[in-house]
Amino acid sequence: MSFFTKRYHPPGTGPGTLRLPDKPNPTPPRITLIDYSDTELQEIEEVTPEACRAALERPTTTWIHVQGDPDPDTLTRLGVLFDIHELALEDIANSGQRPKTELYDDQLFIILSHPLLEDDYADTEQVSLFLGKQVIFSFHGGSHDPFEPIRKRLRKHSGRLRSKGPDYLLYALADLVIDQSFPVLEQFGAELEDLEEKLLAAPSRETLRRLHELKRDALLLRRMLWPQREVLNNLMRNEEYPIEADIRLYFRDCYDHTIQIMDLLETYRDMTTGLLDLYLSSVSNRLNETMRVLTVIATIFIPLTFIAGVYGMNFGNKTDSPWAMPELNWYYGYPLVWGVMIAVGVGLLYLFKRKDWF
Amino acid sequence: MSFFTKRYHPPGTGPGTLRLPDKPNPTPPRITLIDYSDTELQEIEEVTPEACRAALERPTTTWIHVQGDPDPDTLTRLGVLFDIHELALEDIANSGQRPKTELYDDQLFIILSHPLLEDDYADTEQVSLFLGKQVIFSFHGGSHDPFEPIRKRLRKHSGRLRSKGPDYLLYALADLVIDQSFPVLEQFGAELEDLEEKLLAAPSRETLRRLHELKRDALLLRRMLWPQREVLNNLMRNEEYPIEADIRLYFRDCYDHTIQIMDLLETYRDMTTGLLDLYLSSVSNRLNETMRVLTVIATIFIPLTFIAGVYGMNFGNKTDSPWAMPELNWYYGYPLVWGVMIAVGVGLLYLFKRKDWF
Amino acid sequence: MSFFTKRYHPPGTGPGTLRLPDKPNPTPPRITLIDYSDTELQEIEEVTPEACRAALERPTTTWIHVQGDPDPDTLTRLGVLFDIHELALEDIANSGQRPKTELYDDQLFIILSHPLLEDDYADTEQVSLFLGKQVIFSFHGGSHDPFEPIRKRLRKHSGRLRSKGPDYLLYALADLVIDQSFPVLEQFGAELEDLEEKLLAAPSRETLRRLHELKRDALLLRRMLWPQREVLNNLMRNEEYPIEADIRLYFRDCYDHTIQIMDLLETYRDMTTGLLDLYLSSVSNRLNETMRVLTVIATIFIPLTFIAGVYGMNFGNKTDSPWAMPELNWYYGYPLVWGVMIAVGVGLLYLFKRKDWF
Amino acid sequence: MSFFTKRYHPPGTGPGTLRLPDKPNPTPPRITLIDYSDTELQEIEEVTPEACRAALERPTTTWIHVQGDPDPDTLTRLGVLFDIHELALEDIANSGQRPKTELYDDQLFIILSHPLLEDDYADTEQVSLFLGKQVIFSFHGGSHDPFEPIRKRLRKHSGRLRSKGPDYLLYALADLVIDQSFPVLEQFGAELEDLEEKLLAAPSRETLRRLHELKRDALLLRRMLWPQREVLNNLMRNEEYPIEADIRLYFRDCYDHTIQIMDLLETYRDMTTGLLDLYLSSVSNRLNETMRVLTVIATIFIPLTFIAGVYGMNFGNKTDSPWAMPELNWYYGYPLVWGVMIAVGVGLLYLFKRKDWF
Amino acid sequence: MSFFTKRYHPPGTGPGTLRLPDKPNPTPPRITLIDYSDTELQEIEEVTPEACRAALERPTTTWIHVQGDPDPDTLTRLGVLFDIHELALEDIANSGQRPKTELYDDQLFIILSHPLLEDDYADTEQVSLFLGKQVIFSFHGGSHDPFEPIRKRLRKHSGRLRSKGPDYLLYALADLVIDQSFPVLEQFGAELEDLEEKLLAAPSRETLRRLHELKRDALLLRRMLWPQREVLNNLMRNEEYPIEADIRLYFRDCYDHTIQIMDLLETYRDMTTGLLDLYLSSVSNRLNETMRVLTVIATIFIPLTFIAGVYGMNFGNKTDSPWAMPELNWYYGYPLVWGVMIAVGVGLLYLFKRKDWF
């Protein structure tokens, strides 16, 4: 995930300006229309905005899903046909928006963040939802359509999805996007547990890198997921929104999930901080142990080497002065020096042992 | 305690779906029914959901306790018989929920976290409570039934438990779950005091590991216990809940306990942070002390060894040049060298002493 | 101060249970009764609960003070005689409660934390106050009665204490307990200033220990004193409490004191954190200085010792090869070696000086 | 960006005092007047305050832009002519104000912070806006006029800028100033990503310096941009402000941008903190690795050098005592010593390998 | 600035007790009276409380300023003459109070903190203000009278000070006290910028000390200035206070200043923390560099010294065994050893270079 993911127009551009992104559009938009009631279901793929307009005439619930990056032309046509506010169109085009809800006349506009499991980092994609009378629009930027499970439930007529109105479908879509955080967070938790074990055993440069990446990902995920609390709170409580009372109960359940997701992310963030502290403490600790080994060895042998150096001096060679290293002439001189050296070494070892150094 | 403990369905699953957990159910559910009034008490163990239904006919208070992981079949039967909302059933099945209260029509649904004392870490188990008219359901996931003390009080007719309605029983159950935190926190506090003493004496790798685990456990406990404040606040204040005014006073006492528990957890968290700082400071300090020992020893002996090395050179052996190590020929050469070496060593020791190094 | 100081009953115990503490009661309760009006004052020591009851008949203000750990029997008798709620009695018995106010019918129940100056750490004791009609109860757990100054003011008839009702006496008692924090915090501040000076001069292991203890004490004091803000806020504002409007102004003054106490505690906490950072930085700094001394000495003498070692080799002894250490035969060989060694040493010293190492 | 950027008068100066800044005014003010309606547009550059007054007579929307540091004289004349409150004039003159809104009678006064992209740091300039009846004043302190894009849109008659009143122009100006943060933050994010890569590869003193500067800039930007949330919130919600309902929707969009900007700045701040932790950990890690190399080398060679030193002693030279270094006379003495030294070296290497030190 | 600056009476002292401070009063109080209206101004220095009373009879605005530590006697006389509440008198006497506002009947009592620029640290002095009908009292504890600029403005009849009532004078006094923070904070900012430069160049023990002092001063200033937000908020909004609507606008400007001061202090606090992190990182970095120098030098010369030591052994002296150091007899033995030593040295240097160590 890049640190800055929001698309924006140069400051001073008029609101509602739709513009092609700089790089060529990787995934051309595909519009899928599903029209359903309790008794019937019609599914048309690769439909034009104009064909969608016709579906609105019937008293069924219509779900229009636009997969891929919508080009300015498609967006403008949808905007004109379904009377969508220019600011909403701009928000759909400029992906990387903060999750939010907005009520334009009778149309409820919702932006959500869809978290993604990638190889070794987390990313989010923007999902934009529109709730009008008998109609729901959904926009998803990536190449993979996340809403297939909902379509399966619609086709199978399982649960109460078919018998309820578009607000229940909105709940189903939002719930899917929100719950997508759970597998991401589960993997996060597993990685953290794995890292904790490694840190307590033997911290390495690689664990530090992975830990830093997890912390950064938690931060970026939090930025994109946090505002969903507010979104769900609005959907649950705002009396102006065109959502029926018994459906609000379901949004309340969904709201509880966003809170639990935030709890988890906060806890993970605190945990990565805790693990970083553990890393630092472990490295300090190991440094201390390293230095003790060096200190013990050096402190014992440096005086001994000095003693050996003393008797390597050549004072006894050239003069016969009785002061010239008489130790060299002693009968037991050599074993005596060994004795002194062993005594010094053992004494120092004993001292270190008593100071509890190894 | 694992970092991620919530059970969840794959995103996109319909609400109210009940599904067997992946691993075989370790503890099959056992339903216990207690039916009591001020004058009589009937206790039936291992009862079927259908038999429980019959108890509702009588004007007594009925307490139905489901111990163990409820299988989808039992839950569905209970749901149909007692008209329980599908979202509540899903929350009971998918344990690891955040504590919360929810009012479905006349039924008050409560999820609490029951902390557990394990060998060397803290864990929580989900307790789900239902308050209906004249009936209370309680669900507890583990193998150990925590509510035995309440049953004893019911049987002994002690206090006002028998003479009050199901809302007082709800209080008794919630109070027990909440107060379970006190022994856990008491042990926490004792361990922290123990660790503090060890850290001030001699920090080791083991203290670091234990400290980290305590910090992590405080974090995980906090995540599961924090929302209980909100739960108790609701029970104490929400006028819509079917709880009588004089019972609310008891919930207020219980709310004070949740606040005190949070105070303690916060304080413990701050304390583990403080102890970690202390650990780091102690390790730094000891490293500094280690390095001083090495520096003092090395700095004193390295110049001395150099001097000894100088007079170990063989310049005096092969030539008779008066410049060839004349010191070796001096009458007092050897004692003089000792004098110089002792002077250097004592001088350096004095310097270190004056700089307050040991 | 212990980390966990709350007394509690085993979870599942009925509310209002009074039980003897495990260790024998160190201070048996002594009841003192003062009965006063503007014109008269009667003081009886070591009175029974039943005798106190009689005092309520008169239109004077009655102050009943229970000093020491009240035994269950005394508490139960007081509870029955004065119609005290069982939850309040339990809170008095289970000391270590969080400060709070509670209104039971007409009785206002208040718990406060009375900070104590001990040798080298801070502690708190629970003070429980009851405000009824014409009567005030006060309970204090320790062996030392803190309210003697109030009794003196009552006896001397100084200020307006005698001419006002029990709510003003309540203010006088609460004010005394709250203000007890000032001398404790003053000593805290003095110790912090002392520690700061020591840290800037020469940080030692002892300063670290004292610093950690101060930080921990600030944390524990904060936990026990923080809720008093809420208590005083209630006494100042809650219209249901039986306190007259002109007395509320005095509680407002007292509230300002609790806020100032919290400000001080927060500042002290930030300061201990700042001092700990200072400690760590100082230790790092000193380690760096230690290492530089070692590095300078070792880096200068290690090459010199190597040179001396080279000319201590015995290549010149056994062969007459012109390649066998011809330097040993040079007329100025020895002074030349000294020259090289002095040049190397001075050169390295110059390098270190230029890099600003000492 | 300097740490303290607010201009202020000496304390005690009367409100509304306008005074020349100490250093000579670098950019003399240039007043540009644009007078427009849906059908016509008149643009006059370098106009006097008095000439501006005349434009107010017409029913068109008038936009008066003052570029550069306004001198006291110009400000006073504008104040008198357009009846501007003395406190507002003082706020325009004393740049470095906190963003805010203020309603003086019918005039809405707004201060915003215009972020700037400089070489390697971020800065802000004060933009002051006035919304009166049919008139908008804008003041911008620097030499570069940021509002040229708006003027272009006015001239091109693109969007609805010309057909709407001064409140929509206010939105366009504010939107431009707010959105100016996006390119600044995009560059910030790119630098952070760049620094992160460098830190994971090889942390240097230069990365530390750059990191510190980014952190400080994030802090300073945050201080100047944070209050804009409150400003936009007021513009969006305050019913007293002379802004029409459909324009408020646009301010709501602008408010969302300020929130997203704050989210980004907060995330960046957390990220710089995370990167600093990474830096410290990396340096600790490298120090540890450095010390291990030293320890391994020193610990292996110090004992070997001692052994070599022992047999460099001259005990065997001067006496024939059988105790005087008999090893020197052994036939295989020399290879044996090599054998011992190789055994010691390999043994120590094996030990370090087993302890996983390199 | 001392850590604990509040004066207080022993706990249990009655409210309103006025007592001489322990140390003799350093600055006896001097009362200055200014009596003014739009047309006349009378100024009397060193007036008695009783003489002040007379001024109240006239319909002019009266400003009574008490400079220095007021003795109990003066305070009591003022209290009786002007009917000042005993709690207010106590707050004036016990300086070091938290800034606050209090309404006693018709009298508005305000405590503010007046920051001071001292040599190298910041301090605050208590300013107490009273707003009555046609009268303002001001008390300032130090020896220096800060209100001279206001008096000058009164005498010069500049601005609207003379034509407005006592509430505008209150604004002028409060504004002066609040704005006094700007020069203090400006110097703070300059010192921080200076310290930052020094830290990036060469951190020393002295920079650490100064940094710590700045951090502590920011903390102490914040404690004394923070509550002024609340004070100004009250003055701006509280409808009960005797302040006219058009004056409230000026207090709003003053409130904006307190917020900006808090913003600055918060930013400075974050900056000192950032600088401390920078200090720690720099020290770590330098330690690392020091250690690398030592490691490179030691690691290169230790093996070389060992080689030299080997050939300093005396095995070749006493036996003619062909195994006894035959290298010494080689024709090119000595240059070969030099070759080996140079190869080892260059090889290690190459290794360190490749690992990017210097």
Q: What is the pLDDT of residues D120-177, one digit of tens each?
A: 667 889 999 999 988 999 999 877 899 999 999 999 887 788 999 899 999 999 999 9
Instruction: Enumerate residues 257 to 276 of chain D having a beta carbon within 8 A of any beta carbon in chain E.
Output: 276
Q: What are phi and psi of A272, to 5 degrees?
A: -65, -40
Q: How far apart are CA A190 and CA A193, in angstroms?
A: 5
DSSP annotation of E113: E
SS3 for B150-162, per residue?
HHHHHHHCCCCCC
D143 close to D125: Cβ distance less than 8 angstroms: no
pLDDT value, residue E169: 95
Q: How far apart are CA E133 and CA A153, in angstroms?
A: 76
Residue B118 has pLDDT above 80, yes or no: no
Give kind and range of the element (H or E) at residue D309: helix D245-310
Of D6, D287, D293, the CB nearest to E288: D287
SS3 for A33-91, per residue?
EEEECCCCEEEECCCCHHHHHHHCCCCCEEEEEEECCCCHHHHHHHHHHHCCCHHHHHH
Of E283, E290, E297, the CB nearest to C285: E283
Q: How far apart are CA C51 and CA C54, in angstroms?
A: 6
Q: What are phi and psi of D350, to 5 degrees?
A: -60, -40
pLDDT digits (tens, 9 = 90+) for D40-92: 999 999 888 888 888 888 889 999 999 988 888 888 999 999 999 989 999 99
Q: What are phi and psi of A68, to 5 degrees?
A: 100, 175
**Residues contacting residue B54 through CB under 8 Å, at least 6 positions apart:** none
Residue E75 has pLDDT above 80, yes or no: yes
pLDDT value, residue B130: 94
Q: Where are the extended beta strands (E) located within C41-141?
A: 41-44, 61-67, 100-104, 107-117, 122-132, 135-140
Chain E contact partners (≥3 CB pairs within 8 A): C, D
The answer as to CATH 1.20.58.340 being correct for domain E287-354 is yes
Give kind and range of the element (H or E) at residue E316: helix E315-318
Alpha carbon B32 to chain centroid, angstroms? 31
Residues of A in contact with D313 (CB under 8 A): 308, 311-312, 334, 337
DSSP annotation of D329: G
Q: Do C102 and B176 touch (CB under 8 A)?
A: no
- Which sign, positive or negative, has the C-alpha torsion D316, D319, D320, D321? negative
**Residues contacting residue E225 through CB under 8 Å, at least 6 positions apart:** E99, E113, E115, E124, E181, E258, E261, E262, E265
Q: Do E337 and C315 touch (CB under 8 A)?
A: yes
DSSP annotation of C326: G
Count Cβ atoms within 10 A of the Cβ of residue D266 and give its class: 0-12 exposed, 13-18 middle, 19 or more buried: middle
pLDDT value, residue C20: 63
Residues of D in contact with A226 (CB under 8 A): 263
CA angle D54, D58, D61 (to 5 degrees): 100
In CATH terms, the fold of domain E30-282 is: Beta Polymerase; domain 2 (3.30.460)
Positions in chain C whose pLDDT score sits under 50 = none
Q: What is the mean pLDDT of residues A243-264?
A: 93
Count Cβ atoms within 10 A of the Cβ of residue D274 and give its class: 0-12 exposed, 13-18 middle, 19 or more buried: buried
Three-class DSSP category at C247: helix
Best mutation target among B144, B313, B325, B357 (most C Cβ atoms within 10 Å) is B313
Closest CA to D272 of B277, E219, E277: E277
Tell me the two tokens of residue A210: 């992975």
pLDDT value, residue E316: 77
pLDDT digits (tens, 9 = 90+) for E202-243: 788 888 999 999 999 999 999 999 999 999 999 999 999 999
pLDDT digits (tens, 9 = 90+) for D8-29: 888 888 887 887 666 655 667 8
pLDDT digits (tens, 9 = 90+) for B218-263: 999 999 999 999 999 999 999 999 999 889 999 999 999 999 999 9
Instruction: Parse chain E into domains and list their residue ranges.
Output: 30-282, 287-354
pLDDT value, residue D102: 93
Residue D1 has pLDDT above 70, yes or no: no
pLDDT value, residue D116: 85
Is D342 near chain E, with CB under 8 Å? no
Give kind and range of the element (H or E) at residue C34: strand C30-36
Three-class DSSP category at D13: coil
Instruction: Enumerate residues 93 to 132 of chain B having a beta carbon within 8 A of any beta carbon in chain A.
Output: 97-98, 100, 102, 104
Residue D119 has pLDDT above 80, yes or no: no
For residue E219, the distance in angstroms to the closest alpha carbon of chain C comes to 7
Give me the architecture of the C290-354 domain, per CATH.
Answer: Up-down Bundle (1.20)
Residue E114 has pLDDT above 90, yes or no: yes
Residue D31 has pLDDT above 80, yes or no: yes
A54 close to A129: Cβ distance less than 8 angstroms: no
In CATH terms, the fold of domain D288-354 is: Methane Monooxygenase Hydroxylase; Chain G, domain 1 (1.20.58)
Chain B contact partners (≥3 CB pairs within 8 A): A, C
Is C149 near chain E, with CB under 8 Å? yes
Q: What is the mean pLDDT of residues D173-202?
A: 91
Three-class DSSP category at E349: helix
Residue E1 has pLDDT above 80, yes or no: no
Closest residue in E to C175 (Cα) is E12
Is B293 near chain C, with CB under 8 Å? no
Q: How far apart are CA B274 and CA B280, in angstroms?
A: 10
Is A255 near chain B, with CB under 8 Å? no
Of E176, E310, E323, the CB nearest to D335: E323
pLDDT value, residue B175: 95
Is E301 near chain D, with CB under 8 Å? no
ipTM of the complex: 0.85
A214 close to A195: Cβ distance less than 8 angstroms: yes
Q: How far apart are CA D73 and CA D85, in angstroms?
A: 15
